[in-house]
Amino acid sequence: MPLKELQPIFIFLAVVLLLLSASCSRRTVPADAVHGKSGRSAGGVLIKTSEFTLIIPDVSLSQSETKQLEQFINAGIGLSVASNKATPEDIIRTARGYLGVPHCMGGTTAKCMDCSGLIFRIFARHGITLPHNSEEQARYGRIITEKKMLMPGDLVFFVRTYSSSRLITHSGIFIGEDRFIHTSSGKGVTITPLNDPYWKERYLFGTRIFE
């Protein structure tokens, strides 16, 4: 067969090989998500600073996510709020008053609110100003590295609850007995067990505003 007549066959084979190569590439696991390179220790994700060691036993973070968490911590945590007479009991009592309020992204009112909006509104009612953003809220208060050390009134933070460039995407208020109050996209302001499978594998740490 003349070479000229073979050219369409060569082109067809080249296209097939290219498609097969692309298909394999799509199935390849990203390098920073390969098991053993995710920033995990035997006890979970491990972050060490001069002030504390943070072990996150139930969350699997990639190398890039672990670096993002380190950058977040290095950028500043443990910020204090203006002192006042509010107590953890006051915060929880106010939070319960919003149970059933529907969710809306960006909301901070009794008509609808998102997770950080709930915290923003509750603390504002007691004269405490916090940002309306879960990741920025996590900069306030002393970080609580172990879930068993949480106390009522502590804030709790979670990762990957929706697609975002930020690592910390959800916040709530611990109310004791392994439960927290927060705004769920499906249920609005509600109370949920911390050990609920969905939240357990996304829980990062808590912070204590009231000392």
Positions marked catalytic: 115, 170, 182
Q: Length of the chain, please?
A: 211
CA pair distance 83, 52, nearest whole angstrom: 24
CA pair distance 143, 145, nearest whole angstrom: 6
CA pair distance 11, 15, nearest whole angstrom: 6
Burial class (CB in 10 A: 0-12, 13-18, 19+), 21: exposed
Instruction: Return the DSSP state at 31.
Output: G
The sign of the dihedral angle between the CA atoms of 38, 39, 42, 46 is negative
The sign of the dihedral angle between the CA atoms of 197, 96, 171, 101 is positive
Q: Which SS3 state, helix, strand or coil, does residue 179 take? A: strand
> How far is CA 105 from each of CA 94, 98, 110, 116, rounded to the nearest angstrom?
21, 16, 13, 10
